[in-house]
Amino acid sequence: MITYIIRRLLYSIPVLLAASFLIFSLVSLSSDPLASVRGNPKFSPDTLVHLRYHFHLNKPIPVRYAYWLKNFVLHKGGNSLLTNQPIWPDIQRVAGNTAQLIITSETLAILLGVGIGVYSAVRQYSFFDYSFTTFSFLGFAMPVFLLALLLQIAFTDIYLHWHVRLFYTSGLNNPGQGTFSFDRLQHLALPIVTLLVISFALYSRFMRASMLDVINSDYARTARAKGVAEWKVIMRHVFRNALIPLVTVIALNIGSLLGGAIITESIFSLDGMGHYFIDRLQHDDLYAVMAWLMLTSVFVIAFNLIADILYGFLDPRIRYA
Amino acid sequence: MPETQSGPTPVAAAAAGGGLLAPPAGDVAESLYEHGLEVRARSQWAYARKRFLRHRLAVASLIVVTAIFLCGVFANFIAPHSYSAIDLNYLYHAPTVKSAHYFGTDALGRDYFSRVVYGIRTSAKVGLVVALLSTVIGMFVGGIAGYFGGWIDNILMRITDLVLTLPLLPLLLTAAALLGQGNEWRVTLILAFVFWTNLARIVRGSFLSLREKEYVEAAKAAGAGDFRIMFRHMLPNSLGPIVVNGTLTVGTAILVEAALSFLGFGIQPPTPALGALVTEGQDNPQAWWLTVFPGLTLVLIVLCVNFVGDGLRDALDPTQRRVRA
């Protein structure tokens, strides 16, 4: 198991390097980091030459990549090419906010998704089952931005018509309010619901399907034949085994969400990872974008690995050599 | 009794037996089917079609999504106005039948129904072309990797892994922002170059198992070339998952393109795209029609495409001989 983990970790290093080199080349070839300075009369041609020299922009791309990588590794993400400010403090701030959002919404989505998935499978083809099947198909087809926008519009209109402030529709908190205040909850409620609906649709479908795979298996029948009570069969024999495939799905989903619920955060103007990324991308702040992409790729790879490890841990039939 | 066991319908048998409708050659057929007990020979595709047609939701979805796409194709006949025409009498107006603004108008007085219909044309074009292109790329990469194996397989699959391990949406956003320049064909190409990975894995897996089949050996013995074996003998046998995956890609591509356009990195105005139309709703939260109509059109398209994909999955699974009731 440990050799397997180490091998996977070692293997992901060249993948990350190759990916980052590709992205770096793409970014460097298709844009000019000095474009914003070039048109500025305050900068003399001499300064431009100096800047090019200072930031190694006169070197070929592989050399620039090496410089960037050195900075990224040694100086925690390096400095922004646009503002020359360190990137790491910004990332730290936004990552905390995103973590708060993701952890809350995913916890709720897992609890609801597992609960309703199990009940749907036990009462297959009931009215309850059909209503949630319909709901999750809608959830699959619903673009995140549409759901977020509809919620935003609904609560803006509620405020404008009745002057009741249930939830805020943008921002992270009012001035002077803390990270764990009621005010923060009012701000985060709608983004949480948005992410919750999308993840819940996925989890409840998966849970239902994997319950149905197991519910008629031989060992469940054996347990029933032994006279074990039905709820005990479901909870102890079926449910536990049905959870295994769901763990993978959850780990993969969280891995991709940590990269920022880009759309949700930019609609609700939350100062999180996704919002930061979009903002930097719009400003052509390429080194910040690169650093962000690297960190999120690490997250995705890490959660892929966690998914595989958990899978092997939960299911003794799987052995990694 | 499974459907496959049934003979010709009584009416058809009677007609053939009466010799009224049957052509001369029918006499032979008549003697073959005389007792109504024989199994009528059906090809795999006939089974698939029959299974698909039994899946009512999938058939209905296919009809709806075809109708929507046709609306897009014939946008210039269906839209009552041009997508950029400005009607100064109806600025920022809620849906009304008067002067045919069924979906209302935006802040510039442009007819939203016409804009949505033209937006469907863009979305359908992007969805279908991305599905087609990525299917072709995935088929080649997966096919070559699965058929030849060895170091070719290794290299191609590492490339596939590379694309799969990267966070999809940020990558697309970066590519679209830097290379897309708001052009719909550039955006389409970018999407296609990311979406082929899934299919490549599926095709590779299926080719790996098909490679060992006897008929492949027979084709080799008969002197068929590698590419003839791959595309003439093996490909038709893994067509089921390819078709299903291609169908589902249409829906995903439309959704992702809409998300890119919504964030302002996809297709840029003046070309109307459904995602960009929803953005106008974000800028005017009071005008619900600007969000709801293009948004619901998107949901309807993707919902139908997903149902069609589900129906195809059930229909094309060759292990499933029984016709779905």
CA–CA separation, B315 vs B241, rounded Å?
11
Which residues of B touch chain A, with CB atoms under 8 Å apart? 158, 161-162, 165-171, 173-175, 177-179, 251, 255, 258-259, 262-265, 275, 278, 281-282, 285-286, 288, 291-292, 295, 298-299, 302-303, 306-307
The size of chain B, in residues, is 325
What's the pLDDT score for residue B17?
41
Residue B159 placed within a domain: yes
Task: List chain B pLDDT tens, one digit each, 325 residues.
Answer: 334 434 444 444 444 444 444 444 445 555 555 566 666 667 777 878 888 888 888 899 999 999 999 988 888 888 777 777 777 777 777 777 777 777 877 777 788 888 888 989 989 999 999 999 999 999 999 999 988 888 998 888 888 877 777 778 888 888 888 777 778 888 899 899 888 888 898 899 888 888 888 888 899 899 888 888 888 888 888 888 898 889 989 998 999 889 888 888 888 877 888 888 888 878 777 778 888 888 999 999 999 998 898 888 878 765 554 443 3
pLDDT digits (tens, 9 = 90+) for B30-71: 555 556 666 666 777 787 888 888 888 889 999 999 999 998
Residue B276's contacts (CB-CB under 8 Å, 6 or more residues apart) are B119, B261, B262, B264, B266, B267, B268, B269
Residue B28 placed within a domain: no
The residue type at A113? G
CA distance B16 to chain A (A): 43
pLDDT digits (tens, 9 = 90+) for A155-201: 888 888 888 777 887 777 777 777 777 788 888 889 999 999 989 99
Question: Does pLDDT of A114 surpass 90?
Answer: yes
DSSP B236-288: GGGHHHHHHHHHHHHHHHHHHHHHHHHHTSSSPTTS--HHHHHHHHHH-TT-T
Contact A155, A166 (CB under 8 A): yes
CB atoms closer than 10 angstroms to residue A111: 12
Q: Cβ–Cβ of B166/A12 closer than 8 Å? A: no
How many domains in chain B?
Answer: 1
Residue B24 placed within a domain: no
Q: What letter does residue B4 receive in the DSSP assignment?
A: G
Residue B207 placed within a domain: yes
CA distance A318 to chain B (A): 20
The closest CB to that of B282, out of A143, A267, A297, belongs to: A267
Residue B133 placed within a domain: yes
DSSP A101-156: HHHHHHHHHHHHHHHHHHHHHHTTTSHHHHHHHHHHHHHHHS-HHHHHHHHHHHHH
Residue B130 placed within a domain: yes
Residue B298 placed within a domain: yes
pLDDT digits (tens, 9 = 90+) for A238-275: 888 888 888 888 888 887 787 668 888 888 888 888 88
What's the pLDDT score for residue B23?
46
pTM confidence score: 0.81
Residues of A in contact with B288 (CB under 8 A): 153, 157
Structural domain span for residue B292: 118-316
> What CATH number should be reported for the domain holding residue B219?
1.10.3720.10
Q: Which of B155, B162, B164, B166 to mutate to test the interface with A (most CBs of A within 10 A)?
A: B166
Residue B295 placed within a domain: yes
Enter the tokens of residue A142. 């619903």
Enter the tokens of residue A196. 């919750």
